[in-house]
Structures are given as C-alpha cells and as structure tokens.
Amino acid sequence: MPAADVITVAPAAGGQASMEDADPITTEVVRQGLIAVADQMKLALQRTAFSPIIYDMIDFACGLFDRDVKLLAQARTLPAFLGTLGFCVEAALRRLGGREQLEPGDVIWSTAGYDNGCHPQDAVIIVPAFLDADLVGYSVIKAHQSDIAAIDVYPLNTTDVFQEGVIFPAVRLYRGGELQQDMYRTILANTRYPEALEGDMNAQITATRLGAASLSRLVEKHGREVFAASVERMFAHGEAIVRSRLQAIPDGRYVATCSMDDDGIGTDMVVYDVALEVHGSDVVVDFSEAPPVRPGPINCPLPAVVASSRIAVYALAGVDEPPNEGHFRPIATRVRRGSMFCPEPPAPIFVYGWASDMAVEGLQAAVADVMPESVAAGSGGDLCGVGWWGEYRDGTPWSIGPDHPVGQGATHDADGAHCLFILPLSGLQVTSLEVVELSAPLIVERYELAPDSAGAGRCRGGLGVDVDFRLLEDAYFNCIVERTKSPGWGLAGGHEARPNHCALEYPDGTTEPVAKVTRMLLAEGTRVLLRTGGGGGFGPPSERPVEKIMEDIREGVITPAEARRHYPQLGAEGPSIP
C-alpha cells in the first residue's frame, strides 16, 4: 500500500506545565474532584432528559478537557465514546476559527459525523469554561438523540452521509449567553420528534454548563499553577499505570480476523484483519489492512476507530479507573485512508461502531495464546437492536429502539456472565420493560435467560436472552442484528455458543428471519422474536466438574439432554437429577 495512505494517530506527549512541585495529595484531590464533576454531569443529564435512550439506557458520554484539549476526566458511561470527545472539541475549534473565537456563555452544537466519530444522532454539546475571561477548558457531552431528520429514524441501508441526518458542523446555539433563535428553530424543524429533541437537547446543555462551571470553580479553588501541575502529575501517573500493565504482554504482532454478516446493502460477509503490535510498553492497534470503503453504512470514521483502540488496550491492560489523557499515551492507532476504518465523505457511516466494536473483542482472541489468563472467550458480540416507530391512532408520533444484552465469554477460571452488553457498550443498561411498553404500542410477552445458549467448557459461557414482542398497532420496524453467522467462539478447547437470531411471526402464523431491516411496515399482532447469542466456553468441557454441571442443570442454564451431549463425564444417561 502507498505509505502516504497510512496514518498513525497517537496522543501528544507531556504538556508545558511542570509537575515537579505538584503535591501528591493535592493531585489526588484534583483528580477526584474532576471525576466527581464528570459524574455530576452524568447524573444531571439522566435526571432531566426526555428520552429513555438517554435517561434509562445511558447512551451518552460526559467529559472534561483542559484548554489544550487533553482529557481531564470522563464519567463511567459508554466506553465506545472513550477518547472521541477530544476529537469533537478539536473539530469544533477548527470550524470556528480557533479557541480565540470563543467567549463566555457560548454553547456549541454539532452533529457532524466525521468530526465527532459517530452518526448524527450522537449529537455533541460543547461549553467552554472560563475563569476571569481566560479559557481554562471545555465541558463536553455526546448523547444519542431520537431523530435528526435522517432518511429514516434509524436507517441501516444508507449509501451516503447525507441520508443519515442533518449535519450541523459545530454551530453556536448560544453566543455569549444569547440563544440564537434562528439556529434553535432550524434544529427543531429538522426532527420527527421536536418535543423529545428539545427536551433532550436542553438537558444536555444544562448538564454541560454545569460541568463547565464546576471546572472553573475547581481551577479557581486550587489556583491555575497548582491545578496545571497537579494535572500533569495526574497524566504521568495514568501513563505509568498503563505502561506497567502493558509490559506483561510479550512483544510481537497479534492478528485477529473479524467478520460482519454484511454491510447493509449487499449480502456478502465482510471479513477484515486487525492487529495489535507490542513493543515494550508501547502498542499500536493496526486497522490498515481493512477492506476498502464499503457501499453500505458500516464504515467507521477515524475518531471511533481510535476509541476502539483505546478500549481494547485498556481492557487488555486490566485498568479499572476513570481515564484521563495520560492513560492513552502508550496507545497508537494505524489506519489507511480510503478504507472501511478511515472513510472520507460522503461515504455512509450510520452503523459506524459495529465493525470496530467486533475488532475490540477479536483482539482478545488474538492474544489468547500468550495471555490465556487475561482474556475471555467470544461473547454474543452485538447489541441486537430492534426498534419501532409510527403514530398512535390519535396522530401522536412515537418511537422506541431498545438494545439487548448477550452472554459473555468464559475466562480460564470463571464462567461467563449472563445477559450483559458487549465490552465497548458495557455502560449501557437494559431498558426497563415498563418504559418500553409505555413508550410504544406493544407488549413484551417474554424476556428470559435462554437455556442452552452458552458454549460448553471447563468454564462455560454466559446465557443470552429470549425476547418476544407483540405489536398492538401497525408500525414501522427497524432491526440490526449482527453476528448471526459468527457465534461467540470458545478458547482453549471450549465450545462456541449459539449465534444471534431474529424472526418475525406474522398474524397468520408464518415466520420470516430478519437481520438488517429499515422501515418495514408490520401489521398489528405481528410478533418480533429476538434470540441473543451466548458466550463461548473456556477449556475442554470434559474438565468441568460434575457438580458444576449438575448445578447448571438445576438452575436451568442447560437442559439435561444438552448437558449429556457436551459433557462426556456425565455418561450416556447421566446421574439422576434432583
């Protein structure tokens, strides 16, 4: 490949401020204060948002940055946005002509997918933080809005970015504290659900303003010099933690082969390699061998690819603390221009996260031979999202689109967890069934753990779920269920799990499998039958203790017939089951 087409993205090294005089206790007070502000932003948004996808599912991220756009703290929300918020700020500054153009009271709104590393529905609010008229940092929230006037509420068959929603390229919603009425009206005119968008947008603004004000007070409390020195020491500590963990990975290049069922337009599987290169405590996550830009919307813009690199390495390093810029310094990302992982406008990107999310899990399998005690077998590997929208009989518009958990893969010494979201989206919560039924004319007839969905092994995988919905009125249906052809894999002799599956059962009793569907009109009484995948097993099933198998049978994790099929130590008939 031409060298000019390959790009390597790495965080900047240490800043200008000296950390030599930073007191360690003060540094920890500053660090915990920043984390507390980010968490406060999270709670403020949850408690004031209008839409379940924000207040119930937690499909958002909150972060604080210094004036040089270095991450100070990010709340524990959606890992898939890890590190993308800085790209949002940098792009906004380029659009607006630099930070010198900002003033107190500004509120910036952006739905530019290539800037923000997402589809337009993941809208961004940025509020600059000032102290005595001096810029000290930025407060940022990215949150999934219900609708930004795409060709469909959640289109999975787009062929260019212009079909995916209205692009607001870092525009001022407030200038110097004054609401820009023309822009505000324009935003609300470009949505199918103006009441929800207005409520969620204002909740997002309020929470981001709170973050900016709290950041300014924190700088004022400690003083600019002490704050800057403490932040540099905080960054250095975060970097040291990650580097110390990465040194446990043997040097080398580890390749994972990943796949998606299709790109939303064609029917062929999309297969791609991603690699992890380890050199001491420096790592490069290499996406440069990816296929060219796809005609369907699975292309992933650069900020989201960088975020996936950070999630993968963060998980392999076993770091369990809120991140800051220092944690990312050992991690670089390599991509190739014009590929699926570095597209350029107007290539479609609506389903931007699926391919990179699968790469995160694939990298665990790639290092399994050299780090068998640090990785898990494959999970169900998808969000299994289904959604409906339409109008009630009185003309009121409605929309709901819950995602669903899957079984997690087993590790060398533990069974996989049941019913959890995949790693890059592990901050999500299951939308309560009551909220689903209150938000749409449908009934949830079944929501239960699925026996026999996990992979067998010395340690078995976790269970997926069986979910049945029944429509009470006619509605449009959107669906994205991936990994129907690639079940959660086993490791070290463990068995694979069941794959994801979705089907429609029509009022006349006929059924039809579905996977990626956009704007499909379903009649009242149609049932959607969703079966999410389980997690793979770890180690030979023949090594699983009989007492654990019997416990799984008693608890309904596995049926007696399946247990006898996978575990030879039970014998042909198996022991009596109490």
Is 180 a member of any domain? yes
Whether residue 202 lies inside any domain: the answer is yes
Residues 380 and 231 grouped into a single domain: no
Distances 141 to 25, 134, 201 between C-alpha atoms, Å: 29, 22, 10
pLDDT at position 577 is 58
Select from 209, 235, 261 the last residue of a domain.
235
The total domain count for the chain is 2
What's the whole-model pTM score?
0.95
**pLDDT at position 320, please?**
83
C-alpha to C-alpha distance for 330 and 332, rounded to whole angstroms:
7
pLDDT of residue 113: 96
| Residue 476 lies inside a defined structural domain of this protein | yes
360: left (phi over 0), alpha (psi -120 to 50) or beta: alpha
Q: Does residue 8 belong to any structural domain of this protein?
A: no
Domain boundary among 235, 261, 293: 235
Nearest one of 269, 228, 106 to 175, comparing CA atoms: 106
Torsion of CA 337, 340, 341, 343, to 10 degrees: 50
Q: How many beta carbons lie within 10 A of that of residue 52, not counting itself?
A: 20
Name the residue among 486, 273, 290, 536 with its Cα closest to residue 382.
486
Report pLDDT for 2.
59
Looking at residue 573, its pLDDT comes to: 60
- Nearby residues of 515 by Cβ (< 8 Å), 6 or more positions away: 261, 262, 479, 480, 481, 482, 484, 502
* DSSP summary character for residue 20: T
Is 266 a domain residue?
Answer: no
Domain that residue 457 falls in: 376-578
Q: Among residues 168, 202, 235, which one ends one of the domains?
A: 235
**pLDDT, position 315:** 87
Residue 194 lies in a domain: yes
pLDDT for res 81: 86
Cross-strand pairs, 399: 389
Is 57 a domain residue?
A: yes
Q: What's the half-sphere exposure (Cβ side, CA atoms, 13 Å) at 118?
A: 26
pLDDT for res 11: 77
Measured between alpha carbons, how far is 48 from 63 in angstroms, rounded to an integer? 18
**Predicted local distance difference test score (pLDDT) of residue 183:** 97
Neighbouring C-beta atoms of residue 353, cutoff 10 Å: 25
Residue 79 in domain: yes
Determine the pLDDT at residue 576.
61
CB atoms within 10 A of CB 383: 24
CA distance 508 to 353: 36
What are the C-alpha distances in Å from 568 to residues 479, 544, 563? 39, 10, 9
Q: Which residues does the chain have with pLDDT short of 50?
A: none
Which pLDDT does position 572 carry in this prediction? 66
